Structure formats: structure tokens, C-alpha cells
Structure 1
Amino acid sequence: MSGSPGRTAEPGYYLLHHNSLTGASCPTSYNLIPILVNGEVFGEDKEISIHILNNNFNEDSLHGIVMEAQDLAAPLLRNISMCTAIEEAFVGAEVIIILNDDIENEFESLENRIRARLPLCELFGSLIEKNAHQSVKVIVAGKTFLNLTTNLIIRYTPSLNPRNVIAVAMVLENEAKAMLARKMKTTASDIKDVIIWGNITGSHHIDLRKAKVFRYDSAIWGPPSFSRYLLNLIFDSEWIRKEFEASVNSWSLTRYFQRGVSSAHCIATVLKFWYHNSPPGEILSMGIISEGEFDTPAGMVFSMPVQCKNGVWFPRTDLTETELTEEIKGAIIHDLQQEKLIALGEVSTYQPYLPVAGITPRENRVRIQIEENLEEEQKDQTEFFSIGSLDFSEGRSSQEPLEGNDFEFYEN
């Protein structure tokens, strides 16, 4: 069998990316498949085969998604099939997407929900270990216990490079950007460098210390690369201090099952960055196996800032002066440790975190950050204005751009 004209092929067979979707009957799958086969993720010359399964290997709920995918008549979709035999799961898989989108029983205890992850991860881990390609990439996404699931998959795939198993934090990251954009009356895509620390679907922290806004409608304008610190542009600091993170978490919990589009987009974007590099200099949050970065426990799956380049990710350990204080880190580490201990049966009850007394509260941290960022921004603006001059000659109106070296100035 030879490759189609204009597509990458090896002698005798197509070059394929085999994608196995678990949890394939959930809304995210319906939105993800069209993105995977449009060429943006793996490349416009790569045909793919998709094998879908759910956690009970029942084909009844998968017929519809197979038929709809076939109806796409997508040129890059070579084949889509259901996996209903456990022993055949993940055979030859180069990419595996695990979707933790199950609707949980609200009356079931937290401990029972945590313990329920173990047998499924043990099963999937053994099948990945036995059947998948040796360099398989595993992406864990969804609503429930992402860090724990990622950690358990790593535990039960001992021959797999642990750096090839990651959890998607971009859904939460983008929700935060969207909420900030609504508050600022700007576009979410113009907000960059929001960091998600810790347990993506548990105890986490949304860090705005490095966050920047581009193309913001204000008295100061620059080229597309010009940005300002977000914390200096939101004048309602009370909202940042007390309502923002709680609002993001509340929105995430109540609207999750209507957001298959955003979940699918984030999974595809993370895959695209992993294969083709993330934007230079831009911060991406990802749940990864820690090797001690930012003084986090080695072997713990922890969401932190990363960058993707040449098919690998690496932590942004060059970042300094973030909001990851010892208080925040202590609460997150405790939460992750408790989840793992309960899942492995080493403790029976989740023990709440007891914070260390005398730590500066978040309200004061945000105030200090705003003041520090404002000082740095004022310095940047001084340099900004020193390289050009305002010129109202030759009939220019005050609303027209005035060029000064690489920048443009507007006067309100």
C-alpha cells in the first residue's frame, strides 16, 4: 500500500498517527475528532486512524460517533473504528487521549470517587504498556482527578517515558482568560501568560503575576508585541483579590458539560504545541511529572509553566517572582498527596490541610504585586516615550498615529 500523492509516506505503508480516544461517548469527542482530522494538529500531509473506546468497552454508545466521523469524508481520516475487545485497546497507538468526563454521583464520597480511579488506570496502564507504541504520547483531559489519573498512568506504565504523559491545564487557563477579558472588555486571546499551579481539578492557584494584555484600548499604544501587566489594568482590585478565582472555579463546575467545544480545542492545541512548538516566549500551563522544579516533590504530577519545542516540553524554570508561595504550594502538595494515598489505599479518609500561621494573605500579595508591576511598567513607559517624539505638524490630527522608531503613539 502506498501513500496518496502529496502526503508523507514510507515505502509500503502510510505514515499514521493512531489516536485512541477513551471516554469517546462524551461531548468533547464529538468536537475533537473534526479538529484532529483537519491537518492543523499533526500536519496537512499526515493521514490518521482513530480508534475509540469507553471505560466499559461497550459499542452501543460509540456507533453514532463512528458514523458521524465517517460522514465528514475528511481526506486525512484514513479509518475510524470502535474497540470493544479489551485486549486490543491501544494497539500501535502513537497518541492516546484519556477523557475524564464521567458524570459523578453527587451523593458518593470524595474518597470513593478517588478510589474508583485506581482499577481503571491500572487497566489502561497495563494495556498501554503491552500494546502502544514505545514512544506513545498520553494526554489526560477532562473534569475529574487529572493529576491523579496522570500519576497513576505513569505508575502503571514503567517502560514508558514519564515525560510522555501529561494533563491538560489549558481549559482552566482559558476560562480564567475569558473571565478576565469580560471584566476588562477585551478579547481573551489578547491575554497571555496566565499560570495554573498545582492540582488542575483540585487545589490549584491561578497566578496573574506574569499575565499581560496585548492590544488593550488605552491611552498608550504600541506595535503588536507591546503589552502591559494585567494587574495594573484592572482597577477593581477587590474583584481580583476575592472573587476572580472563586468565580472561575464556580463557572468550571456548573458549566462543564456544555463546553465540549472549548475542551476539544484545548486538547488539540496542546497536541499541536507538543508536535510543532508553542509560541516563542509564551507561557503554557501543563500537568507534568515533577523533577523538583520550583521545589515541588519529584515524582508528583504538578501543573506548572512550560514551553514546547522540538517535540518535547520543558518547565519554565527561568521564571522568577511568581505567586507560588510556600503557603500555596503547601496546600497543593497536601491535596495531591492525599489523593494518591487514598487511591492506593494507604489512608481511608481525606485529611484537610492545616495552613501555616503567619503567612501573608492573598489580598496583601496582590496589592504588593500591583505596586511592583506598576513600578516596572512605569520604567518601561519612560523608555518607551524616550525613543520617539510627538509631532503635530503637517496637519496631523490628535487621533492619527505618530511614529517614533518602532512604536506608535496616540493621544487621547
Structure 2
Amino acid sequence: MLSEEMSDIAEENLQAHLEIVQEDEEIKSLIKPLHIWITSASAPICYHLIPLLANGEVFGITTEISIHLLDTDQFKQILRGIVMEAEDMAFPLLRSISEHTEIDQAFIEADIIIVLDDVLLNLEVQPLENYIREVNEICQVYAPLIEKNAKSDVKVITSGKTFANLKAIMIRTYGPSIRPENIIAIATSWESTAKAMLARKLNENIADVIVWGNITGSNYIDLSHAKLYGYDCAIWGPPTYPRSLLNMIHDSEWIHSEILSAQSTLSSQVSHCAGMLPAHAVATVLQYWYHDSPSDEIISVGILSEGQFCIPEEIIFSMPVRFLNGNWEVITELEINETTQKVLERLSHELVQVRISCVSCVPILPPMDLFSTLFSLSLPSISFQYFYISPFCTMSCFSPLRAG
């Protein structure tokens, strides 16, 4: 074959290859990825969360995602390291991952926003009101940007180690156009920790443990609806046959001494975790949100109350829900005993007082001051001292303000 003829064939092959590449790019451009924004992305939870979001189990094996990591400029090198490592893992469904430090460009085209911001909580240094003010100022920055830049049906999830409920209600307060049903706080870490403690006692998996109230503050772990399956006892049933947890634990003293009074222990475990537990909690809730939760399973989520279970309206309160068809619904058919109802009243009062204090003590900042305020805050705080009072101690110990 003559060299000239070979050149013509090579040119033709190159042109055919370019046309195929262009066609593939056009097809790829028609597939719109989910845009996921993560705030305070230098926190350890983000490091564990990215593989869970990108492996296809959360959103499905056909859904591509783009992850946007947001943090202040001082954590830029950490964000770059996370981006490089995620790119090297070559997740097929991860369309792109990028770092962002320009706050005015935050949440552009966001489908999902995961708010991880924590504050350094040390009540020996300054009063709780100061920390509440700091959280409020952060939310004053985020909420208008979410309204301006994110998609109209954006889902906002608040997590982290401090003020999960408060962050959710403040974003709702300062972002009134954000759909209230799309703002939730994650309580699944508490569920998992409580279930693990019970499983170690019974050597069986536990279901339907409910977390009521203030997720990262005073809450109530309700075992009255908890179930276990396949328990080795006198009466057996099929694998789907549930047994009441409280009926299977005959040592009632253990229940009260080890579980109900172990709230502070659980709090310490959740607040000092390295990031795997809350990352798994966020991924699990997102998976249920997009693909439904098991029909017989109860999930605890902090949501905007509409008066269910006599809980006051317009506060974020953790309560039992199920996810179905891309939405959630409160499981209002659950029977609540008198003891639980009294505890819910106490927890509701506390959250109402925190919200009133938060709104009344912090002035609304002008737009230009909002951006400068955010960068003056130490947003991602990894370690802190956590002060917790169990709802099972004397009721007079409840103060009007406590970590949200």
C-alpha cells in the first residue's frame, strides 16, 4: 500500500473516531448528574461520605453525580487532597468533584445540600447563647444563597455533631421559599448506636428504635415499638414474624440502668465518632428518600412539626417517618403512652425556647455583612466538649437553652 493511500485511510479513521467521541459527548451531556453540595467539607464525615454517595448504592447504578465541596479558604489544601483522592478512585458514576471557597458561588444548581457545619462547643469558655448566635449567622448566609442558586426542589440535610435541629429550623426561617418538607435533620446515628447496644445484649438485630426530640441535644430513645426477628425463644415463627423487644428482655432493671440512663454514653459515642457513623446515616436516609424505606421499618428524622403527637408547630423535631415515592410521611398511627407524651412535651418546650432565643438575640445582617461574617467563623470544628442532660433525670434540671 502506498504511503499516500495509508495517509488517506488514517485521516478517514481519525475523522470517524472524532465523530464517535463527539456523539458520545452529546449523549453524555443529555444525562444530567445530581449536583450534591457538602458544606464544611474538610470535616472527617465528608471523607467517609463521598465513597458511599459515588458507589451507586444510594442513588442507583444509572444515576451520575457531581460533588461540590464547600469550605473556607484556610481548608483549600484539604479540599484539593480530597478531590484528588476521589478522582483517583475512578468511580464510574462520579461525573465530577470540585472544591469551592467562594461563598457567593455556593449551591449553584444544587439538587442536594448536606450541611455539616459544627461549632466548637465549650460551655466553660462562653455561654450557649454565643454558640447559638454563631449557628444563626451561618444559616443567615446559607439560606438566601440556597434560594438564589439551588434548584427549586433542592433537598437540604443537616447533620454533624452539634445543633442539627437548630441548623434545619434556621435555614427554614431564613429561606422561606425552600420547601419545608425538603429540610430534614439526621437522627439515624442515634438509632444505629442504640440498636448496636441492644444487639450486643441479645445477639440479634433490632428494628424500630425511635429517637424523639433534639437530635444533638436532649432526646428520648423510645423502645416501646422496638422489635426483633428470629429470636431464640419458646415460640418461633417465620423470619418476618416480629417479637416485642421489651417482652423479650425480662431484665427490666437492665433496660432502665443501661439503656434509658445511658443517654450520655450514647451521646459521647455519637459526638466523638470519627465520621463513618454519621456518613452512613446520611447515605442511608438519602437512599430511602430516593428509593423508599422498607415498608415495615421506622426511621427517625428531624422534620418540621405540623402538630403531630401534640408537638408544637414550626419546630424541627425528630419523630418516626417512612419514605415512599420520593417523599416522607409521619407514622401518626403509632400509639404513644402517657410517659412518652410527657417527655415529648418537655423536649418540645426546650426546642421552642431555643428557637425563640435564636431569633430574638441575633439581628438580621445586611447581605454584604453576611459574606464577611461567614469567613470570620470557624465553621468546621472537629473536637469539642459536649454537655448533655438526659430527659430521664429530674425534670427541674431542664434549662431553657441547650445545644440544638
* Separation of aligned partners in 1, 2:243 and 2:296: 15
Q: Relative to structure 2, which stretch is displaced further, 160-169 or 322-331?
A: 322-331
Counterparts of residues 93-172 of structure 1 (less than 5 Å): 93-107=110-124, 108-172=126-190
Q: Does 1:42 align with 2:59?
A: yes
Equivalent-residue separation in structure 1 for 2:23 and 2:258 (angstroms):
55
d(CA) in 2 for partners of 1:23, 1:4: 35
Calculate the TM-score normalised by the size of structure 2. 0.80
TM norm structure 1: 0.78
Aligned partners of 1:285 and 1:304 also within 8 Å: yes
Query: Could you tell me whether the CA contact under 8 Å between 2:161 and 2:270 is conserved in 1?
Result: no
2:92 aligned with 1:72: no
**CA contact under 8 A between 1:202 and 1:335: conserved in structure 2?**
no
* Residue of 217, 223, 232 corresponding to 2:238: 223
Mapped partners of 1:266, 1:326: distance in 2: 27
In 2, are the aligned partners of 1:19 and 1:94 still within 8 Å (CA)? yes
CA separation of 1:185/1:3 partners in 2, compared to 1, >3 Å: closer, same or farther? farther
1:321 deviates by 3.4
In structure 2, relative to structure 1, the CA distance for the partners of 1:4 and 1:265 (3 Å cut) is farther
Q: Does 1:185 align with 2:200?
A: no
State the 1:105 CA deviation.
Answer: 3.4
Per-residue deviation, 1:149: 0.7
**2: distance between equivalents of 1:62 and 1:158?**
31
Task: Report deviation, 1:104.
Answer: 2.9
Query: 5 Å matches for 1:263-282?
Result: 263-282=278-297
Query: Quick check: 2:133–2:361 contact (8 Å CA) kept in 1?
Result: no
Match for residue 380 of structure 1?
none
Of the three residues 286, 290, 307, the one matched with 2:301 is: 286
Deviation for aligned residue 1:2: 8.2
Instruction: State the one-letter code of the partner of 1:314.
Output: E
In the other structure, the counterpart of 2:328 is 313
| TM superposition shift of 1:235 | 2.4
1:272–1:252 distance in 2 versus 1, CA, 3 Å? same
* Residue matched to 1:328: 343
Do 1:137 and 1:164's aligned partners in 2 also have CA atoms closer than 8 Å?
yes
Q: Percent identity?
A: 47
Secondary structure at 1:59's aligned position in 2?
helix
Structure with the higher helix share, 1 or 2: 2
Q: Quick check: 2:211–2:320 contact (8 Å CA) kept in 1?
A: yes
Closer, same or farther in 2 for the Cα pair 1:225/1:192, shift >3 Å? same
Aligned residue number for residue 255 of structure 2: 240
Q: Distance in 1 between matches of 2:36 and 2:318?
A: 24
Aligned-partner SS, 1:111: helix
- The ranges of structure 1 where at least 4 consecutive aligned residues each deviate by more than 6 angstroms after the TM superposition are 1-5
**Aligned residues of 1:23 and 1:53 also touching (Cα < 8 A):** yes
- 1:22, 1:58 → 2: CA distance? 12
Question: In the alignment, is the contact (CA less than 8 A) between 1:147 and 1:302 conserved in 2?
Answer: yes
Root-mean-square deviation (Å)? 2.5
Which residue in the other structure is 1:338 paired with? 353
Q: Given residue 179 of structure 1, which amino acid in structure 2 is its aligned partner?
A: M
Partners in 2 of 1:324 and 1:264 — Cα distance?
33
- Measure how far apart 1:173 and its partner are: 0.9
Structure with more relative contact order (C-alpha pairs < 8 Å, separation 6 or more): 2
- Aligned partner letter, 2:142: F
Q: Deviations over 1:279-336 (max 9, x none)?
A: 0121111000111111111111111110100000010011123566342122101210
Residue type of the partner of 2:61?
A: E
**Secondary structure of residue in 2 paired with 1:90:** coil
Check 1:4–1:161 CA distance in 2 against 1; reply closer, same or farther (3 A cut).
Answer: farther
| Alignment-derived partner of residue 17 in structure 1 | 34
Partner of 2:209: 194
CA distance in 2, matches of 1:153, 1:11: 34
Which residue of structure 1 aligns with residue 102 of structure 2?
85
